[in-house]
């Protein structure tokens, strides 16, 4: 069902971008992936793709940034489309209550990650995709899917970011090998990680991200009456996981403050979904201590409050 956008949405979006430009407390840019450490922290962008086909945006709306863990939403959708419920044999659907790169739960739970949005879970999902393809094909398939969702063939991988993470991603190497020992990951860990690092290194602007998330806002379609990307049920299920697990150990706080499903990445991006109304891309590179964008979280809280959008409200 499509709901008309708030009439004053352009003003709200412009105001929020202006407020964020004036913020001085911008969080800290991730530096554990060396290539990300050089990103300028003074950037901010917000884009809202509405049910009536508009794209309302303000700030640094066309600057591509590293989507990092936001890519996990797209790989999950792709894996569910290909493998259906078999994906849930490898990965759970519960919040982890631990950092995104934590290894501690895995041994207790016999190598099966808590959910598809922490690193371990996303690596297991990537392995599922890879079980059908050669690594280059799997990566091509992921990129094609995201380009299709966004309706934009310019979306590309930043090879320098992928290389940088490959050189320093020791913790992910540990996670992949650990899961391989339990048979949750079935492929060669280095091949699985090669694909994982590259899909995390996809670069998108907030405009492209808002467009790519439309299928989650519109019951699995690219627009309320548009082409279908996934089933309506699957879109709802992914939204549920974004709400409960999309911000790692900050998921409860994001749901409390923003009230919309969202997925963050350490590049500072957040994809948020107002079902029936809009798909929202937001970005600012500085992170809070949990690894979620400080200003993008704050901006989405203001957007939700000023539009009245919430999955917990009747209208």
Residues with catalytic function: 69, 72, 196, 248, 266
Query: Is residue 200 within the footprint of ligand GLN (CB under 6 A)?
Result: yes
Instruction: Write phi, then psi, for 157 (nearest 5 degrees).
Output: -90, 140
Residues numbered 101 to 130 that lie near ligand GLN (CB under 6 A) are: 101, 119
Choice from 127, 141, 158, 165 touching ligand GLN (CB under 6 A): 165
- Which of 172, 279, 284, 307 contacts ligand GLN by CB under 6 A? 172
Q: Can you give the three-state secondary structure of the chain, one letter per residue?
A: CCCCCCCCHHHHHHHHHHHHHCCCCCCEECCCCHHHCCCCCCCCEEEEEECCCCEEEEECCCCCEECHHHHHHHHHHHHHHHHHHHHHHHCCCCCCCCCCCCCHHHHHCCCCCCCCCCHHHHHHHHHHHHCCCCHHHHHHHHHHHHHHHHCCCCCEECHHHHHHHHHHCHHHHHHHHHHHHCCCCCCCHHHHHHHHHHHHCEEECHHHHHHHCHHHHCCCECCCCCCECCCHHHHHHHHHHHHHHCCHHHHHHHHHHCCCCEEECCCCEEEEEECCCEEEEEECCEECCCCCEHHHHHHHHHHHHHHCCCCCCCC
Nearer to ligand GLN, 14 or 105 (CB): 105
Q: Least Å distance between CB 92 and ligand GLN?
A: 18
Q: Is 194 in the site for ligand GLN (CB under 6 A)?
A: no
Answer yes or no whether residue 168 interacts with ligand GLN by CB under 6 A: no
Name the phi and psi angles at 28, rounded to 5: -125, 130
Residue 266 near ligand GLN by CB under 6 A: yes
Q: 69 vs 75, which CB is nearer to ligand GLN? A: 69
Q: Between residues 100 and 215, which has the closer beta carbon with respect to ligand GLN?
A: 100
Q: Rule CB under 6 A: say whether 145 interacts with ligand GLN.
A: no
**Identified binder of ligand GLN from the candidate list 213, 246, 262, 265, rule CB under 6 A:** 265
To the question of whether residue 196 is assigned a binding role by annotation, the answer is: yes
Question: Nearest distance from residue 53's CB to ligand GLN, in Å?
Answer: 30
Residues in binding contact with ligand GLN, number by CB under 6 A: 11
165 is in an annotated binding site: yes
Identify which of residues 31 and 153 has a Cβ nearer to ligand GLN in the complex: 31
Q: Does residue 205 interact with ligand GLN by CB under 6 A?
A: no
Q: Name the nearest CA neighbour of 170 among 141, 190, 186, 151.
A: 190
Q: Is 50 in the site for ligand GLN (CB under 6 A)?
A: no
32 is in an annotated binding site: no
The residue within the footprint of ligand GLN, chosen from 68, 102, 279, 294 (CB under 6 A), is 68
Closest CB to ligand GLN among 217 and 245?
A: 245
Q: 314 with 248: CB under 8 angstroms? A: no
Residues binding ligand GLN (CB under 6 A)? 68-69, 100-101, 119, 165, 172, 200, 265-266, 291
**Annotated binding-site positions for substrate:** 69, 119, 165, 172, 196, 248, 266
């Amino acid at each position: 069902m499509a709901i008309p956008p708030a009439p004053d949405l352009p003003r709200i979006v412009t105001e929020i971008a202006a407020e964020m430009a004036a913020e001085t407390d911008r969080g800290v840019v991730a530096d554990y992936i060396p290539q990300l450490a050089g990103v300028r922290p003074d950037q901010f962008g917000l884009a809202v793709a509405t049910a009536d086909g508009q794209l309302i945006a303000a700030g640094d709306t066309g600057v591509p940034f590293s989507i990092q863990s936001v890519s996990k939403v797209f790989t999950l959708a792709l894996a569910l489309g290909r493998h259906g419920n078999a994906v849930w044999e490898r990965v759970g659907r519960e919040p982890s209550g631990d950092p995104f790169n934590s290894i501690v739960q895995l041994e207790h739970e016999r190598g099966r990650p808590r959910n598809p949005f922490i690193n371990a879970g996303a690596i297991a999902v990537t392995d599922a995709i890879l079980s059908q393809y050669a690594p280059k094909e799997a990566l091509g398939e992921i990129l094609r899917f995201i380009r299709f969702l966004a309706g934009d063939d310019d979306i590309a991988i930043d090879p320098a970011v992928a290389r940088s993470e490959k050189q320093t991603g020791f913790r992910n190497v540990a996670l992949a090998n650990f899961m391989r020992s339990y048979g949750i990951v079935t492929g060669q860990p280095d091949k699985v990680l090669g694909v994982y690092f590259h899909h995390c290194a996809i670069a998108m602007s907030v405009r492209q991200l808002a467009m790519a998330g439309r299928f989650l806002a519109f019951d699995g379609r690219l627009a309320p009456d548009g082409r279908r990307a996934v089933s309506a049920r699957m879109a709802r299920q992914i939204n549920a996981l974004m709400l409960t697990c999309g911000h790692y150990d900050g998921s409860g706080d994001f749901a409390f403050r923003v009230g919309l499903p969202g997925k963050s990445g350490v590049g500072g991006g957040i994809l948020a979904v107002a079902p029936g109304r809009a798909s929202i891309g937001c970005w600012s590179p500085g992170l809070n201590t949990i690894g979620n964008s400080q200003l993008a979280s704050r901006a989405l809280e203001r957007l939700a409050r000023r539009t009245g959008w919430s999955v917990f409200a009747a209208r």
